[in-house]
Amino acid sequence: MARTLELDVGPVAHGGVFVARHEGRVVFTSDALPGERVRARVIDDRHDRYWRAETVEVLEASDDRVDHVWSAASLERDPAERAGGAEFGHIRLARQRELKADVLREAFERFAGLEADPVVEAVPLGEDAPPGASDAGSAWRTRVRLQVAPDGTLGPFAARSHDVVPVADLPLAAPAVAAAAPLGQRFPGAAHVDVVAPGEGGARVLVAERDRRGKPRKPPRGEIVEVVDGRAFTLEQGGFWQVHVNAARTLSRAVQDAIDGSAFDPRAANLDLYGGVGLLAAAVGDRFGETVRITTVEADERATDHAAANLADWVGAAAVTARVDRFVQGLVADASRAERQALAEATVVLDPPRSGAGRAVIAALGELRPRQLVYVACDPVALARDVGYLREAGYGLEELRAFDLFPNTHHVEAVARLGSIVA
């Protein structure tokens, strides 16, 4: 039988859990809040330095605790049956943002050696949002992935597991997604079901079947159109796009604002790394004009094809299919003297996956020495680690903003500008 502990809960930690201690050992505890006293069930005691636990009862509640936004993820359910994906849903929204800022601050101190004081900004949903949705942090997801159990049952994974939990509603989903989600239906043999509600056209349900080895197949091909500030972007229906209904516009404007115009050269070899279908390259072009020279680099060939079409308004835009690490290392190895100069005068925008750009990419950028970098990140620790690498390479952090693009979860999006401090 699993061990149960009474714990006094301390600060937030990366990953949506909170730090408590038991007999000198750290216990990372979910579904809690700083200052609370809880009864928690230990779910992992394999490590000498720390354990993991899940709250089963609140003995002394924080004033910031509220009724969970999603009953399927609340304390009323056994931890093994709580839906994942809303791990901060029991916390007042303003307090959620403070906790996310705490995680960013601690990550920068620990991994970048910097003192940062970010404020996590709320992001509005728009005029079409249901009444009260912004205050509740609900109705923002334009994309939802539902997993399929061996018997065909559909639902999210339980928190911190791969067990499928049937649910009756999806409160974080945008109305079109919630209405189209085939909850209660069975999909025997499928791997997962994606529900996508693009900016134009109705919601789509994309079923990923399993191949003979049990691996998920790619969903059926098809195009969708997303619209950002009046500009249309075509992409694959199963391709990457920001999840929050207002995320693409928010990040486009944040990147535009982050670029230091006095350091920007439209004729330089400007880069948009991990560029997807060209969203942020277009943001640069919209700010600085149609003659901007910018190359967007993306490993997904289909996304690169769409980027080329989406960036057709800019005569100096190009789209390259390549892994970013190989692309920038190739520039280090092969760039001519003139190309090196154009890169040294460049602005580089990068929006890597959750794992971050990593040491190899940062080292290559350090060799190329672009004038400024604008880094878009969805993981605070990966961002802080890479900022630390960039500091070693001679760059200084000049600006940091953060956005609450994932309300009721622990995730946060950040945009950082770094400039070269080495002549």
Contact 59, 6 (CB under 8 A): yes
- pLDDT for the residue numbered 399: 97
Contact 120, 93 (CB under 8 A): no
- Residue 236: pLDDT above 90? yes
Tokens of 56: 């089963």
- pLDDT for the residue numbered 390: 97
Calpha distance 345→351 (Å, rounded) = 20
Of 223 and 46, more confident: 223
| Residues 382-419: tens digit of each pLDDT | 999 999 999 999 999 999 999 999 999 999 999 999 99
The torsion angles phi and psi of 125, rounded to 5 degrees, stand at: -90, -30
| pLDDT (mean) for 52-57 | 97
Tokens of 181: 């989600």
| Residues 60-112: tens digit of each pLDDT | 999 999 999 999 999 999 999 999 999 999 999 999 999 999 999 999 999 99
274 marked as part of a ligand binding site: yes
Task: Give the amino acid at 343.
Answer: L
Choice among 107, 273, 378, 412 that is catalytic: 378
Tokens of 78: 């056994």
Helix (H) or strand (E) holding 5: strand 4-13
Tokens of 280: 């942020």
36 marked as part of a ligand binding site: no
- pLDDT for the residue numbered 48: 84
**Domain segments of the chain as ranges:** 4-65, 98-125+242-420, 138-219
Report, at the CATH architecture level, how domain 98-125+242-420 is classified: 3-Layer(aba) Sandwich (3.40)
Question: How crowded is residue 185: how many other Cβ atoms within 10 Å of its Cβ?
Answer: 12
378 carries an active-site annotation? yes
DSSP letters spanning 275-341: -TTTHHHHHHHHHH-TT-EEEEEES-HHHHHHHHHHTTT-TEEEEEES-HHHHHHHHHHH--HHHHH
Q: Are strands 17-22 and 293-298 parallel, antiparallel or unpaired?
A: unpaired
| Residues 176-216: tens digit of each pLDDT | 999 999 999 999 999 999 999 999 989 999 999 998 888 88
Calpha distance 90→71 (Å, rounded) = 10
Three-state secondary structure call for residue 175: helix
Task: Give the amino acid at 138.
Answer: S
Contacts of 375 (CB under 8 A, 6+ apart): 350, 351, 357, 383, 386, 387, 415, 416, 417, 418
- pLDDT for the residue numbered 46: 87
Confidence class for position 144, pLDDT limits 50, 70, 90: very high
Question: How crowded is residue 267: how many other Cβ atoms within 10 Å of its Cβ?
Answer: 12
- pLDDT for the residue numbered 423: 56
- Residue 339: pLDDT above 70? yes
Which CATH number is 4-65's, of 2.20.25.90, 2.40.50.140, 3.20.20.70, 3.30.70.260?
2.40.50.140
- Residue 2: pLDDT above 80? no
50 marked as part of a ligand binding site: no
Confidence class for position 129, pLDDT limits 50, 70, 90: confident
| pLDDT (mean) for 288-297 | 95
- Does this chain's domain 4-65 share its CATH topology with 98-125+242-420? no
Helices (H) and strands (E) counted in the chain, each on its own, are 10, 19
Contact 48, 70 (CB under 8 A): no
63 marked as part of a ligand binding site: no
Tokens of 373: 């970098």
Beta bridge partners of 57: 39
- pLDDT for the residue numbered 216: 87
- pLDDT for the residue numbered 1: 59
Calpha distance 379→152 (Å, rounded) = 32
pTM for the complete prediction? Answer: 0.96
